[in-house]
Amino acid sequence: MAEFKYEIVEELGVLSKSSSGWSKELNKISWNSRAPKYDIRDWSEGHEKMGKGITLSAEDLKKLRDILNEMEL
């Protein structure tokens, strides 16, 4: 498996926390020294380990916001 690196540029918010100590977070992350993108995924305490997640461009995040605003929750 190819090695990759990441830098959490900005911690934007915690969406939820589990009893195991992991939290689902929205962060701005630079993957492999590329321009930062928005990222939603589970993280262990201290950000040592990560779960599967989704990475979004600013345009994708705006579209998601618009879709969520149109929904009746």
Residues 7-64 pLDDT 10s:
999 999 999 999 999 999 999 999 999 999 999 999 999 999 999 999 999 999 999 9
Location of structure tokens 């928005």: 38
Residue 22 lies in a domain: yes
Spatial distance between the Cα atoms of 51 and 68, rounded to a whole number of angstroms: 24
* pLDDT score recorded for residue 15: 97
* pLDDT score recorded for residue 73: 77
Helix (H, G, I), strand (E, B), or coil: what is residue 59?
helix
* pLDDT score recorded for residue 11: 97
Predicted TM-score (pTM) above 0.85: yes
Domain hosting residue 14, numbered range: 6-70
User: How crowded is the C-beta side of 14, counted as CA atoms within 13 Å?
Assistant: 10
* pLDDT score recorded for residue 5: 93
Residue 37 lies in a domain: yes
Residue 49: closest CA among 16, 29, 22: 22
Residue 1 lies in a domain: no
Say which CATH number the domain at 20 has.
2.30.31.70
* pLDDT score recorded for residue 31: 96
Q: Where are the alpha helices (DSSP H) in the chain?
A: 58-70
